Structure formats: C-alpha cells, structure tokens
Amino acid sequence: MNRRPGTRTLALKKAPAVRSYAAVVGKKEGEGPLKHGFDSISEDSYFGEESWEKAESHMLRQCFSLACDKADLAPSSLGCVFAGDLLNQCVSSSFALRDSGIPYLGLYGACSTMAESLGLAALALEGGFAETVCAMTGSHFCSAERQYRFPLEYGGQRTPSSQWTVTGAGAVILGSGGSRLHVTHFTPGCIVDAGITDPSAMGAAMAPAALDTLRAHFADTGRGPGDYDAIFTGDLGALGHDLLESLFAREGVALGPRYMDCGVLIYDLAAQKVNAGGSGCGCSASVLCGHILPGMERGVWKRVLFAATGALMSPTSAMQGESIPGICHALAIERED
C-alpha cells in the first residue's frame, strides 16, 4: 500500500517497465512536426478497409501487432489488454482484439484513455496480477467527425477553438523489466465540470480537470513542475494549454516551457489548418508512443509527467443542454541511467 491517506497518487514500488511501444498514424499526422517518430504512416485514410470504423480498428490492430513485435512477445503471452476508444460502444478496440485470445478489459475514458489504460496496466503489474500487459487506444478523424459532428461531405465550418481529431493509435507494453523507462506514479483523475457547454471548446472544458489532477499529483508527491523535465497534457490544444498555464499561474505556480500539450505538438497548427490543435484518444497515444517515449530513450527528457485529458460528454448530452465534464489521469514516467 503506497497511497497515503487523503491522497490519490499511487507510488509504484515495482515501477513497471516500458517493454515496448508503437504508434501508427494517418497521412495528415505523418506530415506534421512529429512525423519522424511514428512507426507507420498510412497514406490511405481507409487503411485498406471499406469503412472508417473498420479503418480505425485496422489501425489499432496494426499498432498492437507492432508493439508485440517490438517487445519480441507472442500476443498470446500477454496477461491482458486494457483498451478503449471514442466510437460508440468502443467497437474499434473490441474488433481490433477480437481474435487475439487475450483477456480484454474495455475502458471508456474519452481522450484520457491512453493514461487510464496505462495506469491500470501499471497497477496490474504492481499488484503482481500479470507479467506483461498492453495499454492501447486510438482515434480516427473520419469516424469521429461523422459520429460527433457532421457528415464529412457536409464540410461544416469549424470554430477557432475547435480541434482536429487525430487519426492515430498508440500501444504500450509494460513488463517487469527489460527497459530503462519506468512508470513510477499514477494519479487517477476525478471528474471536474466547469460548466462549459460548447462542444467546440474542449480545451476549456478539460483544462480544469488537468489542473485538478496535476495539483493533486504535485501535492501527493511533494514534487513541483520543476521536478519534471517535461509535462505533457493530452489534447487541450492551444487554447486549453494557455488556459491551464493561466490557472496554475493564478495559484502562483509557473509551469514554464517544460509544459507542452500533445494536441499542439502533433500538427503545425497554422499550416495544417487544425485551428486549436489535435484531439482524440489517438492524439496523446500517438504522441506518447511516437515522440515522448522515444525522446526519453534518446535522453531528451529523464523525468516526464504524462497527463491525458478527456471530455466525458456525448452528442446526446450536449443536445440535452448538459455541460461537459472533464477528466485527466496522470502518470510519472522516469528513465533510469
């Protein structure tokens, strides 16, 4: 038991190791600033399938296979997979893994799923419930757009605060050793609802949740932003990034240039016309696996705080006038020398 009373951060004594990871993205993401880090870039938005939903599933399956290959692991040897996605009933994950024969624990954490799945995977290892566990998620621009917004053919206008759903997937395999990268802390998120009702302002809806979780993480661990070489939020976008910075500044905490957002990093915002940046489960997942973890391996950062954010709303809840609850799960990932 490593959780102090009144805290919510779990310090992981065994510090599960990152055995392998993989990132698969679409064409647009493959033209962005992080293009050199992804394992695979598909020129075809259908990934060879006949629908965007099947394409999303295909992308996840490919990403899962790549992660297993890179860990030199037979998929069937995995203890379990934690996975989820944005599609109704999370079908891209379940169809991606339906032939795997691996215990499957489906999650719904909206765009926070990479951190939620990785946190639960880390706990499964910490508890000794498995030897190797996979955490995975992804999203697809076309399937998300038609499910959450408008038919693609409609060509709807986009507000300046809107974000572009990343076509991308990330998978991480954790094990008990065999890597210098370790998950050392998991701070699960509480739902925070600041009353935002505009589904085109997800950054504003999720920033208060990121504030809540990061504040808890700092308080629980006795660490501050300066103890991390880099802090990444999931997909707050440019507006949400600045908002979180302001919210912390009000409390006298300077996040500084070490603070970055995956949704800002993955695209050249102006040139790629993505307004406030990237979003979707696949945003933080592909940036984690295609940029952050490779960067840590290369020694760019030694200690990273990864805080994926999610908006727990649906088109129906928005149409019924509900505000948008946010959540943020955070993980400390550290490199041993």
Q: Strand pairing partners for 308?
A: 329
Q: How many CB atoms lie within 10 A of CB 69?
A: 13
Strand-pair category, 259-261 with 230-233: parallel
Three-state secondary structure call for residue 322 = coil
In angstroms, give the least distance from the CB of 214 to a copy of itself.
14
Nearest CA-CA partner of 203 in 286, 86, 311, 321? 311
Contact characters 255-294, a copy of itself, x per CB under 8 A: ----------------------------------------
How many angstroms separate the CA atoms of 144 and 147, rounded? 5
Contact characters 37-66, a copy of itself, x per CB under 8 A: --------------x-xx------------
- Residue 4, CA distances (Å) to 114, 155, 219, 327 in order: 25, 51, 11, 22
Number of shown-chain residues binding a copy of itself (CB under 8 A)? 57
Task: State the Cα angle at 307 between 209 and 295, rounded to 5°.
Answer: 160
Stretch that binds a copy of itself, among 2-10, 154-162, 242-250, 268-276 (CB under 8 A): 2-10
Site for a copy of itself in 5-44 (CB under 8 A): 8, 10
Residue 224 DSSP symbol: -
Q: Which is nearer to a copy of itself, 29 or 309 (CB)?
A: 309
Q: Is 135 in the site for a copy of itself (CB under 8 A)?
A: no
Q: Which is nearer to a copy of itself, 256 or 315 (CB)?
A: 315
Cβ contacts of residue 177 below 8 Å, gap of 6+? Answer: 17
* Interface with a copy of itself (CB under 8 A), residue from 128, 151, 222, 257: 128
Site for a copy of itself in 84-113 (CB under 8 A): 84, 86-91, 94-95, 97-110
Binding site for a copy of itself (CB under 8 A): 1-3, 8, 10, 51, 53-54, 79-80, 84, 86-91, 94-95, 97-110, 116, 120, 123-124, 126-130, 188-191, 193, 312-317, 320, 322, 325, 327
